[in-house]
Amino acid sequence: MGSPCSDCGGQVAYQTLSREFEREGMTVSVSGIRALVCQQCGEVYFEPGGAQALVEAADSLFRLGQWNRQHKGKLSAAVPA
């Protein structure tokens, strides 16, 4: 565990998360994201570079969906551990 939550002062602990993103009618999901999460308010803290890696993964899935002309539907990916 790291420093207390900067929003509420609660304790933070590592959790594995999933997040969905939507763009132009397409939804993509990225799972297996490890981050610190406040146990009191739910604020999420990524490791250095973690947020950027998540954005890049989602952007890659959107590009794949557009390339495959899957503008409606859902794509998923798991982040390797």
Q: Which tens digit of pLDDT belongs to each residue from 32-55?
A: 899 999 999 999 999 899 899 999
Instruction: Tell me which CATH code domain 12-78 carries.
Output: 3.10.20
Confidence of residue 3 (pLDDT cuts 50, 70, 90): confident
Please, which pLDDT band fits residue 5 given cuts at 50, 70 and 90?
Answer: very high
- Helix, strand and coil content of the chain, in percent to the nearest 5, comes to 20, 40, 35
Residues near 18 by beta carbon (within 8 Å), at least 6 away in sequence: 29, 30, 31, 32, 33
Residue 2 pLDDT class (50, 70, 90 cuts)? low
Query: pLDDT tens for residues 57-75?
Result: 999 988 888 777 544 555 5
- 76/81: higher pLDDT: 76
